[in-house]
Structures are given as structure tokens and as C-alpha cells.
Chains A and B, each alone.
Chain A
Amino acid sequence: MNNTIGLIFVGIGIAFNLFGCIGLVRLPDVYNRLQAATKCVTLGTCSILFGTFLVMGFTAAGIKSILCMWFLLLASPTAAHAIARGAHRAGVKLCQESVADQYAEDKEGEA
């Protein structure tokens, strides 16, 4: 029973990984790519690790996969935040369809 549910979680996770990578190729600029890729790939990999925990049970591998999942949930948004700020400071422009960029306006106001 646990085995089947775990396999379903692994399948869902792999599907979301694929969607995230398609987003990485299709979307037009850095920030949108970062959104799609970070959300979908992080949650997809967490789903795979949770499926691993369900299949393996309370063994060494299961406990470690829970630990890895927790670390990934903490670390991945932080990395996305750092990349977004670095890209904006390095002067990467938003794409053509963008509506507003209040960050750049505020920075120019200060300077």
C-alpha cells in the first residue's frame, strides 16, 4: 500500500520537474524563468523525496530523504532570491511585455 502511494508521489514529482524545465526553456526573461523553474522543480523534487520516504519507511534512507526535503525547502527560495537580486543589480532588463518596474524606479530615485 505504502509502496503504491510512494510510486504515485514519485510520478507526480517527475511530471512537475518536466513542466518546470519546459518553463525554463519557454519563458522570456530571467525572472520569469526563475519563478517557473524554482517553484515547479523544488516542489517536484520534494514530492520525489517524500515518495522515497514512503517506499523506504523509517530506515536510514527514509529519514535522510526527509532531512534532504526540509533542507531543499529552506535553501531553494533563498538561492532564487539571491539570483534575482544579483541579476537585477547586474543590469539584466525585464522583458518587453513587462508592466511595471518599481524597484528600478526607487533605485534611480535614491541615486
Chain B
Amino acid sequence: MKSKITLFLGLYLIWCFLNWMPDWQHLLVGVLVAGLVTIVTGDLFVSNIHVLHHLRRVWYFLIYYMPVFVWECIKANLDVAYRVLHPMLPIRPGIVKIKTNLKTDTALTFLANSITLTPGTMSVDIDRDKGVLYIHWIHVETTDCEKATKIVAAHFEKILAKIFEEDV
């Protein structure tokens, strides 16, 4: 139920942005449409997104996660541009596996997306039972599981565990 309310609020916000500037007719139709979509598709979505009701988690998301994410994105772009424009193509690709301690769907999705948009790495598959992610790495530095985990995912994992999983 809590996650349905969160879904409703998110959909309503998107509706308001799509019909900028909002007046009362748009807002009324928005309530109807967002309510209908919530009733129909509410059970399909991930279930623990309502942890974002705690303001402290939203705060962590905005203050810790977003700046790190944007900075890593910019570094990733410069890295890829360097590799592409270099005449010798300095790549050493390979698929390695790393371990993760995250359990919930939302946290794993965010972890996979973060890994894809950070320098040199892209997530290929997730094995949720073993807690293993398979990573395609454009310049493999180590094939050892522990070291690779430390290089690729460690700091994102800490931040995401704080946001999505730790009890308040």
C-alpha cells in the first residue's frame, strides 16, 4: 500500500511536468489518470521503494549519491573519448565477476545502472541468489574477484546500502 502511494505521487508529479503550466483542469484529470494507472499496474512494480518516505534517505540520495554519480559520468566520458580517439585502441576487454551484499531489487537496479555509467565497466548479468554481478570491463586490471569488487563497486555499494537497506 505504501509503495502504491509513492507510485501515485511520482506519476502525478510527472503528469504535472508534462502539462506545464498546471491549472485546475489539468490537476483534476491528473488525479484520475494517476489513480487509474496506480490501480492497474501497482502490483507489477518493485515493492520496497517506499523507504524513500524517510526524509533522511532522500537527503542521502541527493547529497551523497548524485554528486558522486555525475562526477563518475564525466570521468567515464573522457575515458571513452580517449580510448576511441587513440590510434592504437588501448583496450583489454574481458568479463569478470564481482560480489555484492545488496539484496533488494531497487538497490540492485541502481547498482547496475551506476556501474554501467561509470568508467570502463558495464553490467552484463545479475545472479541474485549468489549475490554475483558479471561485469564487462574495457581495460581489465585484475581477474581476481575480491580486488575487482574493491575497484569497481565498493564505494557505490556503501552509499546504496545506506540509502535503500540500512534500518533507520
Contacts and interface: CB of A to CB of B under 8 A. Distances in A.
Interface stretch (B49-57, B99-107, B118-126, B157-165): B118-126
Of listed B14, B76, B97, B117, residue having the most chain A CB within 10 A: B117
A76 to B, nearest CB: 8
Interface string A65-103: 011000001100110110011001000001101111111
A69 to B, nearest CB: 12
Interface of B (DSSP majority class): mixed
B80 A85 contact: no
Contacts of A19: 80-81, 84-85
Interface residues of B, number: 37
B93 A99 contact: yes
Contacts of B116: 38-39, 77, 80-81
B20 A35 contact: no
Contacts of B109: 78
A38 B94 contact: no
A101 B113 contact: no
A7 interface: no
Interface in B111-145: 112-113, 116-117, 120, 122-125, 134, 136, 138, 140, 143
